[in-house]
Amino acid sequence: MLDLRINGDRLWNTIMMIGRVGKEDGGVSRLALNDADGEARDLFTGWLKEEGLDIRVDQIGNIFGVRKGIDPQLKPVMMGSHLDTVKMAGLFDGALGVISGLEVIRFLNQNGVETRRPLVVAAFTNEEGARFQPDMMGSMVYTGKLDVDEAWSATDDDGVTVRDELNRLGYLGKDEVEAGCYLELHVEQGPVLHMEGTEIGVVDGVQGMAWWDGYYMGESNHAGTTPLNLRRDALLGAADLCVSLREVAKNLGRASVATMGRLHPQPDVRNVIPGGAYFTLDFRQYEDALYEEGQRTVSNLVEEVASKHGLEKSLTQTVDAKPVRFDSMMVDLVERKAAELQLSYKRMHSGAGHDAQFMSYICPTAMIFVPSIDGRSHCPEERTTKTACINGANVLLNCVVKLSNDQSF
């Protein structure tokens, strides 16, 4: 029987090649649909063509390379991730999943392996949301969770729209591609696997994520003449909220995390008591009940802290992405294949959002994680070893070959 192990050097060299696109000052900046992202897309589609795949591009610019199956009636096995990055990113976030999908195809072609189901390698548009919001835009549109007109009209800081950029780069398509199931290999972007020396993360879901935009309004006044007890300092309230938020997450427990990521005092002047403070809140939790409880607790806290400091508040929830559980057949398969390859593994859920979470709404889905050295990601120091990339791609290959002959879904 054929030894199902990908070509590690070819995988690694291809990751390095795509990693040179958009590299500046030591980091990679392929913000969605910028010139570098366009160049990476062209490079990737060129490689898909070399493998004889049928290239399809949908209306939001997602790229699909389709390899025919023996039975055209069966829905394809899709694998993929994204090629866009944040500013000053590393080489692996997203690229690993896309290039590993390509490597699976290269391996099967080289060894003349046919599969019953068609296979699809996908590169989703704007997963990061660093230039256009929302993030995971391509997979949201693909799965019907975001209207394409809304996505097209999203603008960057210069007022350029997604649609204009898709057009400019030649990726405003019309094609439609089905998915029977979806697998995404990704770096963990957290410290757990590396810390424990575990080779494969068998990802069974994604934690829920709630975002709010908030504003505290007090009173601006003279920093020298206004006694402390007569102040309504919005920044002080927001600072109190920031500290209390951490306590709330700690008390909720079960790996709850909460973050105030932005805080802008107004008027932002050295000798004026801030009369306003704009802030954002982020809360995450994997368990459904605790996720709901956490959202209530956070919004109550914003109210309590406001009244403690004599402030008015406004609070708008902008994201309520409930926890996602991946398909147990798919998760079990990833675990089994990791075991068969004699790799150490553990079940875990993802702390970050991924295209896979939207794909899970339309088809059986799972993810494979490999260790991020020191848990670093979204920075030039993001590293994953060559061996870890190869391990992940081998699990992907073995799962894909199994799924491509499974007629049960």
144: left (phi over 0), alpha (psi -120 to 50) or beta: left
Among 93, 188, 335, 382, binds Zn ion (CB under 5 A): 93
Q: Smaller CB distance to Zn ion: residue 93 or 335?
A: 93
Q: At what angle do helices 234-252 and 288-308 cross, to 10 degrees?
A: 150
Residue 218 is a binding residue for Zn ion (CB under 5 A) = no
CB 189 within 8 A of CB 183: no
Q: Rounded to 5 degrees, what are φ and ψ at 34?
A: -85, 180
Per-residue contact track with Zn ion, 227 to 266, x per CB under 5 A? ----------------------------------------
Listed in sequence order, the DSSP H helices in 115-265 are 137-142, 148-152, 162-169, 192-196, 234-252
Least distance CB 82 / Zn ion (angstroms)? 6
Of 27 and 274, nearer to Zn ion (C-beta) is 27
- Per-position x/- string for 41-80, each x denoting binding to Zn ion as judged by CB under 5 A, each - no binding: ----------------------------------------
- Which window, 56-64, 94-102, 118-126, 249-257, contacts Zn ion (CB under 5 A)? 94-102
Count of positions on this chain that bind Zn ion (CB under 5 A): 2
Cβ closest to Zn ion, residue 94 vs residue 364: 94
Q: How far is the CB of 141 from Zn ion (least distance, A)?
A: 17
Q: Is 208 in the site for Zn ion (CB under 5 A)?
A: no
d(CA 407, CA 405): 6
Q: Considering the complex, state which of residue 213 and residue 282 has its C-beta at the smaller distance from Zn ion.
A: 282
Measured in degrees and rounded to the nearest 5, phi and psi for residue 61 equal: 85, 10
Q: Minimum Å distance from CB 306 to Zn ion?
A: 36
- What are the structure tokens assigned to 129, written together? 């949301």
Nearer to Zn ion by Cβ, of 129 and 310: the residue is 129
- Does residue 382 touch Zn ion according to CB under 5 A? no
Angle between helices 328-340 and 386-404 (to 10 degrees): 120
In the structure encoding, which two tokens stand for residue 296, read together?
């209530």
Would you say 44 and 142 are in contact if contact means Cβ atoms under 8 Å apart? no
The values of phi and psi at residue 144, to 5°, are 80, 15
Q: Quick one: 93 or 165, whose CB is closer to Zn ion? A: 93
Q: Residue 72 has which token pair?
A: 């055209």
Smallest distance from the beta carbon of 126 to Zn ion, in angstroms? 11
Using rule CB under 5 A, residue 353 touches Zn ion: no
CB 54 within 8 A of CB 171: no
Closest CB to Zn ion among residues 100, 266: 100
Q: Smallest distance from the beta carbon of 368 to Zn ion, in angstroms?
A: 13
Residue 76 vs 94, nearer CB to Zn ion = 94
Q: How far apart are CB 10 and Zn ion at their closest, in Å?
A: 22
Contact (CB, 8 A) for 92 and 11:
no
Distances (CA, A) of 232 to 275, 277, 315, 395: 7, 11, 18, 58
The binder of Zn ion chosen from 19, 27, 61, 94 (CB under 5 A): 94
Collapsing DSSP to helix, strand or coil, 237 comes out as helix
Q: How far is the CB of 352 from Zn ion (least distance, A)?
A: 7
Q: Report the interface residues with Zn ion, using CB under 5 A.
A: 93-94
